[in-house]
């Protein structure tokens, strides 16, 4: 008969465990409502031991946020194959998977939380936005975007953030509809910009050239035509 012996964790292993525990708690409730005592209890260690690895909840929150921001940035990575509309739809599904899993933490980060306004937090948020921006440009196969395209892409990323926050407040609109709507929003923003700029018009024509009849961009065109008829 063997008896269970709790294995002693190394320093980095314990830090990673605490970050995981904290991220799980922050994902289910606002970080402001989660105490160090709760984190310690969930990790199976004492409160003083938590402080041995992290000087306070703010530093632990920032470490958890770093892991979450890396995860969120990876949601925008998509093979550059096939129609653009389908690619963006898959990205939005993964994006909303993250929002769904980390709702309170995502909301606290964007609306106000214990680390909001800190240099580290702002850098993490900006890093996610920049990663998303570069991924979209990669899908468009453009290295040096003109000013209007930069405006379109960055505006769309901000719109995705705002849409996710509104959805979390009651989830009154079906998630799948919002995912498709955001892909439509990207095409609509590009179309409005194309009306003012020949370079954007060429880009829009290229975007739509390879879209299949069942793709989200074609679906948007059909919906708009039906409104005018």
pLDDT in tens, 101-158: 988 878 766 765 555 556 777 788 888 899 999 999 999 999 899 999 999 999 999 9
Q: What share of the chain is helix, strand, coil (3-state, %, to 5)?
A: 75, 0, 25
* Average confidence (pLDDT) over 36-49: 93
* Average confidence (pLDDT) over 20-38: 87
* Average confidence (pLDDT) over 169-183: 95
Dihedral of the alpha carbons of 15, 27, 31, 162, in degrees to the nearest 10: 130
Query: Sorting pLDDT into bands at 50, 70 and 90, what band is 26?
Result: confident
* Average confidence (pLDDT) over 41-65: 90
3-state secondary structure of 66: helix
Non-local (6+) Cβ contacts of 105 within 8 A are 23, 26, 27, 30, 31, 64, 65, 68, 113
How many residues belong to the chain?
Answer: 229
Query: Sorting pLDDT into bands at 50, 70 and 90, what band is 4?
Result: very low
What's the pTM? 0.84
Query: Quick one: pLDDT at residue 2?
Result: 43
- Look at residue 62 and tell me whether its pLDDT is greater than 90: no
Could you tell me which of 95, 125, 118, 115 has the C-alpha nearest to residue 30? 115
- Token look-up 């963006």 returns 88
Could you tell me which of 131, 134, 223, 140 has the C-alpha nearest to residue 180? 223
pLDDT in tens, 64-109: 888 888 888 899 999 989 999 999 999 999 999 999 998 887 876 6
């Amino acid at each position: 008969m063997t008896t269970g012996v709790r294995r002693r964790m190394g320093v980095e292993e314990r830090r990673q465990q605490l970050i995981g525990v904290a991220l799980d708690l922050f994902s289910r409730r606002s970080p402001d409502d989660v105490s160090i005592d709760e984190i310690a209890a969930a990790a199976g260690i004492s409160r003083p031991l938590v402080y041995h690895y992290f000087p306070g909840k703010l530093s632990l929150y920032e470490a958890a946020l770093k892991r979450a921001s890396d995860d969120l940035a990876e949601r925008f990575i998509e093979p550059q194959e096939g129609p653009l509309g389908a690619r963006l739809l898959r990205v939005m599904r993964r994006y909303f998977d993250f929002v769904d899993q980390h709702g309170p933490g995502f909301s606290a980060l964007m609306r106000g939380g214990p680390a909001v306004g800190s240099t580290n937090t702002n850098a993490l948020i900006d890093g996610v936005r920049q990663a998303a921006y570069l991924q979209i440009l990669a899908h468009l196969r453009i290295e040096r975007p003109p000013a209007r395209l930069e405006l379109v892409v960055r505006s769309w990323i901000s719109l995705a953030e705002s849409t996710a926050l509104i959805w979390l407040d009651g989830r009154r609109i079906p998630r799948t509809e919002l995912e498709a709507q955001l892909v439509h929003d990207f095409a609509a923003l590009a179309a409005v910009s194309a009306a003012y700029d020949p370079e954007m018009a060429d880009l829009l024509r290229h975007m739509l050239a390879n879209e299949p009849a069942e793709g989200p961009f074609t679906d948007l065109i059909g919906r708009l035509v039906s409104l005018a008829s």
